[in-house]
């Protein structure tokens, strides 16, 4: 009997332990699901703002066309600007022009490359970059020239073969994240004859080490030209580099020779292949496809004519154009420009659109092909379009990059489309994993995920997620304050009783109407505004903990918001005008460009206000202003960050 009692007690204890385990398991599953939801919301904010910026970049290309059609003095007196923007037929520079003023001093302690390069140079470069050394400009330019010479021999699409015993690794966007490239090479091995790679574009911008990534990839390419393949992405574009950081990175790291390096890089971009085809079955391109994608045409276009996908071919109306020559032989017409009296340096509009589609498009679950309203360029393509194009060219799969995914990759369209993204922590530490894919003949793709971690990995997961959310909300608030005047106007139109309050629905409608970010505003409202006990929103609380610093107190808020909102666009415009990279622009140029900018973007701001502001920024009264310092004077001040002081969650 005693034994029976003991057995019964053991059974009860086991039952309690099992129940406790189930409770813990259910709690953990619920907690994990909640963290996933929070991550998804934060990524949605990051991605919406990123794509809205890309829309702005594409709109900027329209402005340059508008500027060159209307800014007569630029066309007549600064033909070099015209050539810089539109002449894609860059003459091969004599190497001596670049080398004559460059010496490698004995005091230089960075890596010294020996040409012709070997696999030991790859190791040398990686180890040097791990020690945060800078490769001397002499070697950078030598690598760039050798890379260009080799790329000029490459077709538009690289055709490669695998076998059951020889896999190929496909990597997506790296975006200057050098630690991710180090990790890929550590986990997967360095490129070699037996370990080939495809890097699918967007090597540069956003991250801090784009130049180091380019050097490692280009040196690897020079050592193994048949085993390391490089595709062009939408960020291998000098116009994108001006907005997203690579131009500034080069000029900062190479103060004496940065301009020369950028000039050569602009040319190299045009020679990068636009795709890879593996085993005649797998199409690897950066963005996607459209219903009109013509791979036969894309195989034969002269890709080096496309200097920037953001600069569409210039329309010429031969019947109505009035022409006049200038000192460099560029013909200026009433509708555009023609370099050396010919359109032969440009792709046709149809060819340009084909390239835009493969570099900028994104897959979606909805059938059909429709404009990519998120990015402003390329298209959204559905599963039916994927099947149509793959079947047309006897292909089985499309592997693309271009989109950050929480797990580093995503499979859609019934397994026919795979997105791979290799920059972990793309938006913020902990925001996403990176991945690469290995494929071989006759086998399904194999996926490998990773996440570069630093000191923050010691923090609990919920704290890391709070940091990701905090950064996302911070960026969103900066977007809101840049359109404060417009938002208040719409809020007040909705507030018929003048109570200062709106329903959540009214507030959400107003936010989307002005910002156009396609976000779940109702779910986000608890992070952005104050709600009363009846559930109504105090809409002025949208701006209670943030403001734009005014460089001059007397200037109207509308002007401050406008300059802050378009500061990236204005900086690119001024940098293009400033061809010698002096950082200075004359007051006359400043006023002329602003008037064109205001006209094109339909900005309603009093010119006298901007004149007064510009004159105040001309500190030494020499008739010119440092436009970078001018734009830096407009910055957002966050009074406090609610998310850093609590454990509140986005969802």
- C-alpha span between 139 and 389 (Å, rounded): 43
**126-151 as b/e, with b when 16 or more CB fall inside 10 Å?**
bebbeeeeebbbbbbbbbbbbbbeeb
- C-alpha span between 155 and 159 (Å, rounded): 9
Separation in Å, CA 461 to CA 422, 427, 456, 464, 472? 21, 17, 10, 5, 17
- C-alpha span between 65 and 71 (Å, rounded): 10
Determine the number of helices (DSSP H) and then strands (DSSP E) in the chain.
23, 23
**263-299 as b/e, with b when 16 or more CB fall inside 10 Å?**
ebbbbbbbbbbbbbbbbeebbbbbbbbbeebbbeebe
Measured from the Cβ of residue 216, the count of other Cβ atoms closer than 10 Å reads 24
For the chain, the C-alpha Rg in angstroms (whole number) is 27
With a CB cutoff of 8 Å and minimum separation 6, the contacts of 138 are: 99, 102, 103, 104
Report residue 514 as tokens: 């002005």
Report residue 319 as tokens: 């019947």
**508-525 as b/e, with b when 16 or more CB fall inside 10 Å?**
bebbeebbebebebeebb
Report residue 553 as tokens: 């107190």
- Across-strand partners of 637? 547
Length of the chain: 651
Q: Is 235 a catalytic residue?
A: yes
Is residue 452 within 8 A of residue 534, CB to CB? The reply is no
The single residue of 136, 175, 229, 235 carrying the catalytic annotation is: 235
Residue 277 three-state SS: strand
**559-572 as b/e, with b when 16 or more CB fall inside 10 Å?**
bbbbbbbbbbbbbb
User: Which of 178, 279, 175, 177 lies closest to 233, judged by CA?
Assistant: 175
* Dihedral sign from CA coordinates of 198, 202, 204, 210: negative
- C-alpha span between 639 and 522 (Å, rounded): 24
- C-alpha span between 374 and 362 (Å, rounded): 10
Measured from the Cβ of residue 8, the count of other Cβ atoms closer than 10 Å reads 10
Residues marked active site are found at 235
């Amino acid at each position: 009997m005693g034994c029976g009692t003991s057995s019964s007690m053991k059974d009860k204890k086991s039952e309690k332990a099992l129940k406790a385990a189930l409770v813990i398991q259910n709690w953990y599953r619920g907690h994990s699901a909640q963290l996933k939801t929070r991550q998804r919301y934060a990524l949605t904010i990051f991605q919406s703002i990123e794509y809205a910026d890309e829309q702005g970049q594409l709109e900027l290309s329209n402005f340059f066309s508008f500027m060159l059609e209307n800014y007569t003095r630029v066309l007549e007196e600064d033909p070099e600007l015209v050539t810089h923007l539109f002449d894609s037929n860059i003459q091969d520079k004599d190497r001596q022009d670049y080398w004559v003023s460059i010496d490698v001093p004995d005091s230089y302690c960075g890596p010294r490359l020996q040409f012709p390069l070997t696999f030991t140079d790859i190791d040398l470069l990686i180890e040097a970059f791990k020690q945060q050394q800078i490769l001397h400009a002499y070697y950078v330019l030598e690598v760039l020239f050798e890379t260009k010479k080799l790329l000029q021999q490459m077709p538009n699409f690289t055709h490669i073969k695998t076998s059951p015993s020889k896999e190929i690794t496909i990597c997506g966007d790296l975006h200057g994240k050098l630690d991710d490239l180090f990790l890929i090479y550590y986990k997967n091995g360095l490129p070699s004859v037996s370990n080939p790679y495809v890097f699918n574009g967007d090597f540069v911008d956003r991250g801090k080490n784009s130049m180091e990534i380019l050097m490692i990839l280009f040196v690897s390419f020079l050592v193994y030209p048949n085993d390391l393949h490089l595709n062009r992405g939408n960020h291998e574009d000098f116009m994108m580099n001006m907005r997203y950081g690579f131009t500034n990175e080069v000029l900062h790291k190479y103060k004496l020779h940065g301009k020369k390096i950028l000039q050569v890089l602009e040319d190299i971009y045009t020679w990068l292949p636009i795709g890879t085809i593996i085993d005649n079955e797998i199409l690897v391109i950066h963005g996607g496809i459209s219903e009109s994608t013509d791979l036969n045409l894309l195989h034969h276009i002269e890709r080096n004519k496309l200097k920037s996908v953001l600069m569409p071919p210039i329309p010429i109306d031969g019947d109505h154009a009035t022409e006049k020559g200038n000192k460099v032989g560029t013909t200026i017409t009433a509708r555009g420009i023609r370099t050396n009296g010919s359109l032969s340096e440009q792709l046709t509009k149809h060819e340009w659109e084909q390239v835009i589609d493969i570099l900028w498009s994104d897959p979606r679950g909805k059938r059909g092909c429709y404009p990519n309203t998120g990015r402003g360029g390329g298209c959204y393509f559905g599963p039916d379009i994927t099947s149509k194009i793959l079947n047309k060219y006897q292909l089985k799969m499309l592997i693309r990059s271009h989109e950050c995914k929480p797990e580093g990759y995503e499979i859609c369209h019934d397994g026919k489309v795979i997105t791979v993204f290799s920059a972990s922590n793309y938006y913020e530490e902990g925001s996403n994993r990176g991945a690469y894919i290995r494929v071989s003949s006759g086998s399904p793709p194999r996926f490998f995920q990773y996440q570069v971690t630093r000191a923050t990995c010691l923090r609990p997961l919920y704290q890391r997620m709070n940091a990701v959310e905090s950064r996302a909300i911070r960026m969103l608030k900066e977007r809101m304050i840049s359109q404060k005047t417009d938002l208040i106007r719409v809020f007040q139109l909705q507030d018929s009783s003048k109570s200062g309050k709106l329903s959540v629905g009214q507030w959400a409608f107003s936010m989307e109407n002005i910002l156009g970010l396609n976000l779940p505003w109702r779910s986000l409202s608890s992070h952005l505004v104050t709600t009363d006990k009846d559930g109504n929103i105090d809409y002025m609380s949208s701006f209670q903990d943030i403001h734009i610093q005014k460089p001059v107190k007397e200037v109207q808020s509308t002007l401050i918001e406008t300059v802050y909102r378009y500061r990236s666009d204005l900086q690119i415009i001024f940098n293009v005008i400033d061809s010698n990279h002096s950082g200075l622009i004359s007051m006359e140029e400043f006023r002329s460009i602003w008037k064109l900018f205001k006209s094109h973007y339909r900005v309603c701001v009093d010119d006298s206000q901007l004149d007064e502001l510009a004159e105040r920024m001309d500190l030494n009264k020499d008739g010119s202003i440092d436009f970078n310092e001018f734009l830096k004077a407009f910055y957002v001040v966050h009074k406090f960050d609610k998310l850093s002081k609590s454990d509140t969650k986005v969802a």
